[in-house]
Amino acid sequence: MRVLIVEDEPYLAEALQTGLRHAAITADVTLDGDDALEHLGVNDYDIVVLDRDIPGTHGDEVCAVVAREHPTVRVLMLTAAATLRDKVAGFESGADDYLTKPFALEELVVRLRSLARRPAATAPPVLEHQDVRLDPYRREVYRAGRYVQLTRKQFAVLELLMRARGGVVSAEELLEKVWDENADPFTSAPRVTISTLRKRLGDPDLIATVSGVGYRLARPVPTP
């Protein structure tokens, strides 16, 4: 999951970013509505955590743009305005959920994961490929019945590959979905993470390299 935090209080924005990262959620931060729209035009987000009263383009208008131009992106309105009228205005702008300040980080994480499930309602709750089972909500991976302990990045890379269902995932897409916008585009982090992930999963190798393109799940070896 990749989230854009739009919050004009820098300390709160930084605290949210740090808290979400600890929950294995990639998060970028912007402090005003104009910058938020620029981020949305460049990056691929799953959810926008949007403070309603922000400098530049108002949060309601940002929300309306997301609903109109990025229909697969969910919006969680985050604001100190707790009246019914404010909530109605937020939902009418296109928000999918509403959380008032102050709030517990744990509740925000639960709401984000709930929102993230909505676009993929037809996807199975547990992903499977050959003898590997990945539960994205319990954050557990098993191979041939054996629990595999993964880092947050390894888990996110494996989940992305399994959701691609055999399709090729480029290094650029891995950077886009698993790392944040500050990642060096020339970094070897995806290649290194793939390498360590292969070691954790063991033999036979589950991940195939498509030279010059990216990575995909290996096809099953036919039995003689």
Distance CA 129, CA 97 (A): 33
pLDDT tops 80 at residue 63: yes
- Whole-model pTM: value is 0.57
**β-pairing, 127-129 with 207-210?**
unpaired
pLDDT tops 60 at residue 57: yes
Instruction: Return the pLDDT at 157.
Output: 93
Instruction: Return the pLDDT at 183.
Output: 66
Of residues 54 and 137, the one with the higher pLDDT is 54
pLDDT tops 60 at residue 69: yes
Of residues 183 and 68, the one with the higher pLDDT is 68
pLDDT tops 50 at residue 206: yes
First to last CA, the chain: 40
* Single-letter amino acid, residue 95: A
pLDDT tops 50 at residue 122: no
Instruction: Return the pLDDT at 70.
Output: 84
Q: Are 154 and 196 in contact (CB under 8 A)?
A: yes
Instruction: Return the pLDDT at 71.
Output: 80
Residues 30-49 have pLDDT tens digits of 999 999 999 998 888 999 99
Residues 71-121 have pLDDT tens digits of 888 999 987 766 677 777 777 778 889 888 888 899 999 999 988 876 543
Closest CA relative to residue 2, chosen from 23, 135, 96: 23
What are the DSSP calls for 142-184, one per residue? EETTEE----HHHHHHHHHHHHTTT--B-HHHHHHHHS-TTS-
pLDDT tops 50 at residue 123: no
Residues 129-161 have pLDDT tens digits of 999 999 886 788 999 999 999 998 999 999 999
How confident is the prediction for the chain on average, in pLDDT? Answer: 86
Distance CA 116, CA 2 (A): 10
What are the DSSP calls for the chain, one per residue? -EEEEE-S-HHHHHHHHHHHHHTT-EEEEESSHHHHHHHHHHS--SEEEEESS-SSS-HHHHHHHHHHH-TT-EEEEEES--SHHHHHHHHHHT-SEEEESS--HHHHHHHHHHHHHSTTTTS-SSEEETTEEEETTTTEEEETTEE----HHHHHHHHHHHHTTT--B-HHHHHHHHS-TTS-TT-SHHHHHHHHHHHHH-SSP-EEEETTTEEEEPPPPPP-
